[in-house]
Amino acid sequence: MLFMVEMDVAIPLDFDADEAAALKAREKAYSQDLQASGVWRHIWRKAGLYSNVSIFDVADNAALHDTLMALPLYPFMTMKVTPLCRHPSSIRDDDS
Ligand SMILES: O=C(O)C[C@H]1C=CC(=O)O1
């Protein structure tokens, strides 16, 4: 199942800088592992914002939930999740 997930990150300005850097490093590794495995299909920066729009390919709603809850930056994120399905006008043979 495909989902578009929009993530807005807001780390408090007074949050410890070293701790924030460590969380961002863990987040990057977690994200890149999921990208390599095909679960995190796409990630795009929203220009000018500490936000991204991502496409996840997971088995079901519960798998998406578990994946998102495990994001190291999750406590500092606001998310919007949108389920996706194929568009009838798509010229692609599959959802790649
Ligand atoms: O920077 C972000 O958009 C937040 C988060 C998502 C992946 C990652 O590496 O960081």
Q: Is residue 59 within 8 Å of 2, Cβ to Cβ?
A: no
Q: DSSP state, 51?
A: E
Assign 3-state DSSP to the chain and report helix, strand, coil percentages, each to 5: 35, 30, 35
For residue 3, pLDDT beyond 80: yes
Question: pTM to 2 decimals?
Answer: 0.95
Domains and CATH numbers, the chain: 2-84 (3.30.70.1060)
> For residue range 52-87, what is the model confidence (pLDDT) as tens digits?
999 999 999 999 999 999 999 999 999 999 999 999
15: amino acid identity, one letter: F
In angstroms, the CA 2 to CA 10 distance is: 26
Q: Which atom of ligand 1 is nearest to the CA of 32?
A: 9
**Ligand 1 pocket residue status of 67, Cβ below 6 Å:** no
Which of 30, 31, 39, 46 should be mutated for ligand 1, with most atoms under 8 A from CB? 31
Q: What is the overall mean pLDDT for the chain?
A: 97
Rg (CA), the chain: 15
